[in-house]
Amino acid sequence: MTTPPDFLASSPSPEGYFGEFGGAFVPEVLHETLAELRAAFAEAKGDSSFWKSYATVMGEYAGRPTPVTFCERLTDRFGGAQIYVKREDLNHTGAHKANNVMGQGLLVQRMGKRRVIGETGAGQHGVATATMAARLGLECTIYMGEEDIARQHPNVFWMRQLGAEVVSVTEGTKTLKDAINAAMRDWADSMDDTHYVLGTVCGPHPFPEMVTYFQSIIGIEARAQMLEVAGRLPNRVYACVGGGSNASGLFAGFLDDVSVELVGVEAGGDGIDTGRHAARLAGGQGQPGVAQGYKTVFLQNDEGLMQDTHSVAAGLDYVGVGPMLADLHQSGRVRFESATDSEVVDALRVTMESEGLIPALESAHAFAGAFKEAAALSASDVMLINQSGRGDKDIFTIADALDDEDWKAFIQRTAERYAR
């Protein structure tokens, strides 16, 4: 795909607003850096050779296009709509994150900077950023919450082997929002030679638009593939939503197709009624506010203090949501649902047993949302689920959630061996 995307039916205003959400609320020290980034991004978008070089890298290095897979046994199991899966798990580094970081890496080269920093929750963005830095010869620092480091240690291992410095963030809830805060502080001190590779469609303008631009490769591919493999567009398209980069990228390919219903699935955690969740839009749990450089819907109290979040999936354990998605929710173009931790683990088990696919816990939210609705549709209907990443990184969390005794014994033996 060598033609630059011209989709963005939900393009931001010149000030970076999607409806009432977005903007750039940053310290004065960052104004010039953001202006430089906006100018570089605008120039790159206007240069057809830039997108061509991006598409070439994604094809030759990342393995795009990723396929769409028809899931016959899942379709038979639920007895309703035909179920297809967009396979971002087959992208290099195992998730959709490579799409964004390689695009931003090429932009870094155009700007002549030599160091990149990033934040990560599930670790996939961190691994992708470290991979990009290794390929392009850039210094790399990744900020990650202490709690996420503990539950995503395989990805921490790979980041370090790829040459990145991984900084444990011990403030706040020690999860994604705190890693973003730490990365923003670093950027304010190092902006002359450093670019912040923000991993999702959040933060100050132009990040929400820019990340969607690179992730739109998912939706553009998926739309063409569905016409080829299914002979039609899907009735419903499902994606998990933390910050929302995989959802924004997938939905971008279908925004103008009003017959296609777009469904975002947030982290229901222990249940929305328990307060232990990360569902901002589903059920109307969030409120508009300004934090981390932009305006969107956050989980916050009446005084504007951010609430703690919970999800079995580290990548969805975030207090805000991308401003484009907040606007699409407000306009009714995207419907938002939630899936609890237990529903997600059940969906993961069913998907593994039925199709031999191992989605990441984040992606399993989209599967859970689709499975709850599949039987209500007819056999002539079609649904598409985005498998945004693979579950290798979640092996510790999944094994614990599945209460696997053999795995627990193995972990105990390993711990005892290293303690000696």
**Lowest mean pLDDT across 15-19, 147-151, 200-204, 259-263:** 147-151
pLDDT in tens, 209-254: 999 999 999 999 999 999 999 999 999 999 999 999 999 999 999 9
197 and 235 part of one domain: no
Cα–Cα distance between 303 and 324 in angstroms, integer?
24
Question: How are strands ordered across the β-sheet holding 165-169?
Answer: 165-169, 139-145, 115-120, 194-196
pLDDT of res. 73:
98
The enclosing domain of 76 has a CATH number of 3.40.50.1100
321 and 264 part of one domain: yes
Structural domain tally of the chain?
2
Cα–Cα distance between 187 and 117 in angstroms, integer?
8
pLDDT of res. 400:
79
108 and 131 part of one domain: yes
Instruction: Note whether 379 and 394 are within 8 A (CB).
Output: no
Query: Mean pLDDT throughout 265-277?
Result: 96
Indicate whether 408 belongs to any domain: no
> Domain ends where: 183, 207, 231?
207
45 and 154 part of one domain: yes
Indicate whether 140 belongs to any domain: yes
Q: What distance, in Å, lies between the first and last C-alpha atoms of the chain?
A: 54
Percent of the chain with pLDDT over 70: 95
Indicate whether 191 belongs to any domain: yes
**Lowest mean pLDDT across 157-171, 198-212, 401-415:** 401-415
Indicate whether 334 belongs to any domain: yes
120 and 191 part of one domain: yes
Cα–Cα distance between 370 and 384 in angstroms, integer?
9
Residues 6+ apart with CB under 8 A from 414: none
Which H or E run includes 140? strand 139-145
Q: With 90 as the cut, is the pLDDT of residue 117 above it?
A: yes
85 and 100 part of one domain: no
246 and 297 part of one domain: yes
> Domain ends where: 180, 207, 234?
207
Indicate whether 135 belongs to any domain: yes
Indicate whether 38 belongs to any domain: yes
What residue numbers bound the domain in which 316 lies? 68-94+216-401
Percent of the chain with pLDDT over 90: 82
Q: Is 373 helix (H, G, I), strand (E, B) or coil?
A: helix
Positions marked active-site: 71, 96
Mean confidence (pLDDT) of the chain: 93
291 and 326 part of one domain: yes
176 and 230 part of one domain: no
Q: With 60 as the cut, is the pLDDT of residue 415 above it?
A: no
pLDDT in tens, 284-293: 999 999 999 9
Q: With 80 as the cut, is the pLDDT of residue 396 above it?
A: no
78 and 126 part of one domain: no
Angle (CA) 8 13 17, round 5°: 95
Indicate whether 379 belongs to any domain: yes
Indicate whether 411 belongs to any domain: no
290 and 315 part of one domain: yes
Residue closest to 143 by CA, chosen among 106, 180, 111, 177: 180
Q: Could you tell me which residue, 381 or 124, shows the higher pLDDT?
A: 381
Backbone angles phi, psi at 304, to 5 degrees: 85, 10
82 and 136 part of one domain: no
> Domain ends where: 207, 230, 250?
207
